[in-house]
Amino acid sequence: MTEDIISEIEKLLDYKSSSSDGDITFVETDMAKIQEQLINLYTTITDRTLAAADPIRLFLNCIAYVIIMQRNSINYSAKMNLLRYAVDSFLDEIGYNIGVDRLPATKAVTTIKITLSKQADTTTIIPKGIRVTPGDDVFFELVDNATINIGETTTTAKAQCTIAGSIGNGYMPGQINKIVDRLPFTADMVNTTTSEGGTDVESDDAYRERIHLAPEKFSTAGPIGAYEYWAKSASTLISDVLVNSPSPGVVNIYVLLKDGELPEEELINQVEAVCNDDKIRPLTDEVKVLAPETVNYQVNLTYWISKDDQYQEVSLKEKIEKAVQDWILWTKSRIGRDINPSELIRKMVVAGAKRVDVVSPVYTKVLNGKYQISSHSVDSVQVAILEGKANVAYGGLEDD
């Protein structure tokens, strides 16, 4: 009897790694199985059969519910030790173990040109912390003291947003031009580069990808994976990196930002500073950080919806046109990705289109690391960008 009881308890507490959907679980969480095991255990101990409405059966069901909650907690806790599933602080701990910290929120930066109203007889110091604004609630301050020598009237200085995050990004040259903290003889302060580099705290998905790449950083030979890791470590805005070597000793690093945006000068300098660090760059490498060139295409198409779906016409049109925008974003979110109208049609049909007639773009295939376009080719260090607006026409309802 005792051996049977012990056997039943071991079955009940058996740790498993099984799942019907391919997901990983560590302990059984099927309610029906646990209820059956509890009832069998009770029957083995008491030699008593429980009727369907027996109060003891109801009590055992309550015990099964508690076991399910505990086992869900066990599964969750165990998964937090796996890179694929870990989130929040659990993911931070996995990164900490291999020396990869989550990237904190950073402040947008820009270059400010400072102009005096007249030449000074002595060296003029513009102290750090002096603020300038585009005129809204966003402020930029000088990072260091700026020096204007005798006989000169201008200099440039680095400035950063006073608030961390993406709020300070995207101010074009000339937009940040209102001096908040005025100094004598300071006539003008204006940005000469587009402000960029401001990021929010690194997301779990981006952090998880960097942790996955982290073993590459231990190499001292400058492999592609190591440069990809360090480039992505420069900013959470970076979504894709392509590394190649056009000649011995020369390393080109192409970076692409989220939503297919191209990096400006400030962010390129930021990545360059990281990848050229003496502790990262092999001594013989000449590292250049570049923005991908662009290859433009147009979207000109017509789609139809089945008459059987006429009562959903309005909602389907919205979904189909969103599918077009999703394809445009998907196409430009990876360096060297094909311009693939077949994927565009697939997305539109899945969204509810019956038929799609695409005039442009035409399929542009990547061959031997190059886009092959009619009689000429362009390097795969380009990204495909929509030219103008997508011309998406609705052809109406159509019989099947």
Q: Is residue 104 part of a domain?
A: no
Instruction: Tell me if 322 sits within 8 A of 351, measured CB to CB.
Output: yes
pLDDT of residue 4: 53
One domain for residues 307 and 373 = yes
Asked which of 291, 309, 337 is the last residue of a domain, the reply is 291
One domain for residues 184 and 209 = no
Give Cβ neighbours of residue 333 (< 8 Å, ≥ 6 apart): 239, 240, 256, 258, 259, 260
Task: Please give the C-alpha separations between residue 257 and each of 208, 254, 330, 342, 400, in angstroms, as whole numbers.
Answer: 17, 10, 13, 25, 43
One domain for residues 168 and 243 = no
> Which two three-digit tokens encode residue 37?
């095991």
Q: Is residue 197 part of a domain?
A: no
Q: Is residue 165 part of a domain?
A: yes
> Which two three-digit tokens encode residue 62?
């309550």
Q: Strands across the sheet with 300-306, in order?
A: 355-360, 300-306, 391-398
Over the stretch 321-355, which tens digit does the pLDDT of each residue have? 999 999 999 999 988 888 999 999 999 999 999 99
SS3 helix, strand, coil % of the chain, rounded to 5?
Answer: 35, 25, 40
Distance CA 221, CA 385 (A): 34
pLDDT of residue 324: 95
Beta strands in 81-218 (DSSP E): 109-116, 124-126, 131-133, 140-142, 146-148, 154-161, 178-179, 186-191
pLDDT of residue 220: 57
Over the stretch 234-275, which tens digit does the pLDDT of each residue have? 888 888 888 888 888 888 899 999 888 899 888 999 899 998
Confidence label for 213 from pLDDT (cuts 50, 70 and 90): confident
Task: Please check the confidence at residue 368 and state whether its pLDDT lies above 60.
Answer: no
pLDDT of residue 22: 55
- What average pLDDT does range 291-311 have in this prediction? 91
Beta bridge partners of residue 365, listed in sequence order: 372
One domain for residues 299 and 394 = yes
Q: Is residue 140 part of a domain?
A: yes
One domain for residues 387 and 299 = yes
One domain for residues 299 and 393 = yes
- What 8-state DSSP symbol labels residue 80? T
pLDDT of residue 373: 39
Confidence label for 215 from pLDDT (cuts 50, 70 and 90): confident
Element housing 318 (H / E): helix 313-332
With pLDDT > 70 as the criterion, what percentage of the chain qualifies? Answer: 89
Q: Is residue 158 part of a domain?
A: yes
One domain for residues 123 and 73 = no
pLDDT of residue 365: 65
Asked which of 133, 157, 191 is the last residue of a domain, the reply is 191
pLDDT of residue 375: 40
Residue listed under structure tokens 């773009």: 361
Q: Is residue 99 part of a domain?
A: no
Q: Which amino acid is at 200?
A: D
Q: Which amino acid is at 30?
A: D
- What average pLDDT does range 26-31 have in this prediction? 80
Task: Please check the confidence at residue 14 and state whether its pLDDT lies above 50.
Answer: no
Over the stretch 110-155, which tens digit does the pLDDT of each residue have? 999 998 888 877 888 888 899 999 988 899 999 999 888 888 888 8
Host domain of residue 63: 2-79
Distance CA 331, CA 338 (A): 7
- What average pLDDT does range 180-189 have in this prediction? 84
Task: Please give the C-alpha separations between residue 80 and each of 85, 86, 93, 99, 313, in angstroms, as whole numbers.
Answer: 6, 4, 10, 18, 44
Q: Is residue 85 part of a domain?
A: no
One domain for residues 316 and 380 = yes
Looking at the 3D structure of the chain, how many domains does it have?
4
One domain for residues 227 and 172 = no
One domain for residues 209 and 281 = yes
- What average pLDDT does range 167-195 have in this prediction? 89
Kindly report the backbone phi and psi dihedral angles of residue 282, in degrees, each rounded to the nearest multiple of 5, phi listed first.
-60, 145
One domain for residues 308 and 285 = no
Lowest-confidence segment of 90-99, 129-138, 352-361, 387-396 by average pLDDT: 90-99
Q: Is 273 helix (H, G, I), strand (E, B) or coil?
A: helix
One domain for residues 302 and 393 = yes
Q: Is residue 180 part of a domain?
A: yes
